[in-house]
């Protein structure tokens, strides 16, 4: 493995890269917040991280999520993890919308 790849990166280089990446990400987030909210289909958010990520992006003013998948599964995840999906568009696909992995 080449030096600096994976866990072998020296701390100052890693910090510099993280800072640069964070700075660019902050610029992108600011531009997105200044733009019109984009309606975004979030397909099969039937796990806590997918669903909470969509809701976090909505609360940050980045997207207007449209949740697409099995409505019962999405609501179960939301309830189990205390995620408020009231008022969020939800399209019940009634079946798996993603192929099995």
pLDDT of residue 62: 85
Q: Fill in the DSSP letter of residue 81.
A: T
Q: Which two tokens stand for residue 98?
A: 């993603």
**How far is Cα 90 from Cα 59, in angstroms, rounded to an integer?**
17
pLDDT tens digit sequence for 15-46: 655 666 677 777 777 787 787 778 999 999 99
What number is the average pLDDT over the span 42-54? 95
**How far is Cα 15 from Cα 27, in angstroms, rounded to an integer?**
18
Strands (E) located in the chain: 38-43, 63-69, 89-92
Alpha helices in the chain (DSSP H): 11-34, 48-59, 71-80
Percent of the chain beyond pLDDT 90?
48
Q: Which of 53-62, 64-73, 82-91 has the lowest mean pLDDT?
A: 53-62
What number is the average pLDDT over the span 41-52? 95
pLDDT of residue 32: 76
**How far is Cα 91 from Cα 44, in angstroms, rounded to an integer?**
10
**How far is Cα 13 from Cα 5, in angstroms, rounded to an integer?**
11
């Amino acid at each position: 493995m080449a030096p600096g790849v994976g866990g072998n990166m020296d701390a100052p280089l890693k910090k510099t890269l993280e800072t640069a990446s964070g700075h660019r990400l902050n610029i992108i987030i600011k531009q997105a917040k200044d733009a019109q909210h984009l309606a975004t289909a979030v397909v099969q958010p039937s796990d806590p991280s997918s669903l909470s990520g969509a809701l976090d992006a909505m609360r940050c003013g980045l997207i207007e999520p449209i949740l697409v998948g099995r409505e019962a599964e999405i609501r179960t995840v939301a309830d189990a993890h205390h995620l408020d999906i009231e008022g969020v568009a939800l399209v019940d696909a009634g079946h798996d919308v993603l192929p099995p992995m």
